[in-house]
Copies of this chain bind each other. A is one copy, B any other.
């Protein structure tokens, strides 16, 4: 996987195939990823829309071993608090098997975060004191699709934000440009595939919402 041609890799992948099979890949090989590929997927991110075309995004690709360990240590601590309620719920024999698998994969990622070859942070200017999630998350989705395109495994997490300010400062980011998301990227152990979702017909309404106001939180 070292001899990739950055110009051509992924260029034959079809849009709808990518849309339908981009799912979180959290088991990653520790092998290095060429920086030119990270550049390619970030460039895909820059084509996303943003209010007034302000393009508030910055990308920080953490690859240095010591720096990855710094991030990983904090990520693991944050993840343990984040996942504790789900682990409790998962003790029930009725707990859905697909959720159990997702938790196991998320846990694997947390435990191996220091070995993930690229910890890609997406940061963005605040505007009037607010993050511009509306501009950063379309960009992030483009990056995830582009990773799928070039055959890289990736997923989206915001769990690091428990230690947000500390990590931001470590990355050299000023307070006005906080990280919004972390995309751990590497060559996948598993395969891409159609993610499990509710049916579109349960979400789409003509002219007027007439669904149940689900009492999910």
Residues of A participating in the B interface, judged by any CB pair closer than 8 Å: 10-20, 22-24, 35, 38-39, 42-49, 51-55, 57-64, 67, 86, 99, 102, 123, 125, 127-128, 133-134, 136-138, 140-142, 144-146, 148-149, 155-156, 158, 171-174, 176-177, 180-181, 194-198, 200-201, 203-211, 213-214, 216-217
Contacts and interface: CB of A to CB of B under 8 A. Distances in A.
Contact of A15 (B10, B136, B213): B10
Given A20-B44, A20-B47, A125-B214, A204 B61 contact: yes
Nearest to A102: B53
Contacts of A210: 172
B38 A204 contact: yes
B16 A44 contact: yes
